[in-house]
């Protein structure tokens, strides 16, 4: 069972049919939370066997852990296709230190996850931690069955991803810049991920990535996703990774506030005070809990929390 929260502010897809992309995937100029090698949408049916073989060779040759990458994952083909079983039997036996997560597309029912879990139990090393599963939610049926899907994945499921384009196709929707048409589905996915204590709830792909306009669009979508409850973004180009990871990390002012709250609360607790004020605002248990959460995430994101603690060591509860 997953016991630690995995940071996936950006989930970068890399087509496994391209040897060039496979070779370049670990040469990004900055640390990357997640690289997901894709065997599904970016690979044509005729190339899927070759892509699978190339990916196995690539993963088997990598250092453990690879430099500057928090997690390596593979998006297999949908369970409804004949490609899913060979994807799983070929790649799932790899050590968890090499391949730690599987992204499962088109999860429409609990049975899709139980099928994957059954195969993992048969082919994985029982002495290793289980592979984490991240489910792509792409249909109206999947949204309505989120509770049952999350329950079926217990012990393996570690995240949910919203696939906007397939969802739009299922409902005959037209995607707009406001993303208003997806609000119900996105809120349901983010809420389910939190209710089942999953590490990740990853938002839709931003199809714009070129120039200043693409950068601004990506930032706006990340900001909107964060407000809805997502903590990561699917990326289709390496240039999107730095922006997504920055946008889904706590902001500097937010971290500074959280550090001040944590320091002052320790002093308030020592004095037997359950509620107190800071900056003329009441601070109680839920606010303190939020502050601790922000500090913990800031540390995982590599922000200078210790420097802020030294700066604000004199903070007192008002």
Of the pLDDT bands very low, low, confident and very high (cuts 50, 70, 90), residue 3 is very low
- The mean pLDDT of 132-141, rounded to a whole number, is 98
- The mean pLDDT of 273-286, rounded to a whole number, is 90
Of the pLDDT bands very low, low, confident and very high (cuts 50, 70, 90), residue 308 is very high
Share of the chain above pLDDT 70, in %: 99
pLDDT at 29: 85
User: Which segments are annotated as binding site?
Assistant: 75, 138, 166
User: Which segments are annotated as binding site for Mg(2+)?
Assistant: 138, 166
- The mean pLDDT of 140-164, rounded to a whole number, is 98
Share of the chain above pLDDT 90, in %: 86
- The mean pLDDT of 271-280, rounded to a whole number, is 89
User: Which segments are annotated as binding site for substrate?
Assistant: 75, 138
Per-residue pLDDT of 6-57, as tens digits, reads 999 999 999 999 999 998 998 888 899 999 999 999 999 999 999 999 999 9
DSSP letters along the chain, please? ---SPPP-SEEEEEETT-HHHHHHTT--SS-EEEEEEESSTTS-GGGHHHHHHHHHHHHHTS-SSPTTEEEEEEE---TTSTTHHHHHHHHTTS-TTT--EEEE----SHHHHHHHHHHHHHHS-TTSPPPEEEEEE-SHHHHHTHHHHHHHTTTTEEEEEE-HHHHHHHHT----TT-GGGHHHHHHHHHHHHHTT-SEEEE------SHHHHHHHHHHHHHHHHHHT--EEEESSGGGHHHHHHHTSPPHHHHHHHHHHHHHHHHHHHTT-S-EEETTEEE-HHHHHHHHHHHHHHHHTT--HHHHHHHTTT----
pTM, to two decimals: 0.91
Of the pLDDT bands very low, low, confident and very high (cuts 50, 70, 90), residue 164 is very high
């Amino acid at each position: 069972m997953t016991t630690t929260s995995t940071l996936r502010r950006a989930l970068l897809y890399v087509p496994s049919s391209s040897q060039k992309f496979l070779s370049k995937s670990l040469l990004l100029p900055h640390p990357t939370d997640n690289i997901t090698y894709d065997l599904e949408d970016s690979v044509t049916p005729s190339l899927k066997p070759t892509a699978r073989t190339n990916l196995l060779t690539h993963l088997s040759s990598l250092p453990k852990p690879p430099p500057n990458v928090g997690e390596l994952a593979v998006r297999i083909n949908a369970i409804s296709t004949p490609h899913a079983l060979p994807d799983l039997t070929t790649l799932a036996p790899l050590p968890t230190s090499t391949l730690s997560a599987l992204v499962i597309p088109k999860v429409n029912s609990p049975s899709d996850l139980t099928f994957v879990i059954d195969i993992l139990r048969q082919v994985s090393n029982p002495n290793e931690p289980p592979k984490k599963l991240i489910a792509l939610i792409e249909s109206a049926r999947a949204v309505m069955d989120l509770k049952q899907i999350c329950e079926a994945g217990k012990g393996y499921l570690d995240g949910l991803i919203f696939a906007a384009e397939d969802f739009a196709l299922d409902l005959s929707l037209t995607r707009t810049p406001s993303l208003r048409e997806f609000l119900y589905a996105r809120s349901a996915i983010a809420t389910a991920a939190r209710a089942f204590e999953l590490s990740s709830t990853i938002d839709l792909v931003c199809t714009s990535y070129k120039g200043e306009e693409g950068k601004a669009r990506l930032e706006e979508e990340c900001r909107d996703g964060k407000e809805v409850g997502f903590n990561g973004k699917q990326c289709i180009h390496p240039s999107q990774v730095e922006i997504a990871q920055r946008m889904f990390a706590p902001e500097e002012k937010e971290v500074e506030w959280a550090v001040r709250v944590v320091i002052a609360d320790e002093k308030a607790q020592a004095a037997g005070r359950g509620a107190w004020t800071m900056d003329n605002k009441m601070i109680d248990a839920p606010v303190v809990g939020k502050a601790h959460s922000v500090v913990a995430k800031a540390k995982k994101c590599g922000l200078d929390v210790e420097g802020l603690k030294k700066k604000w060591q004199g903070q007192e509860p008002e």
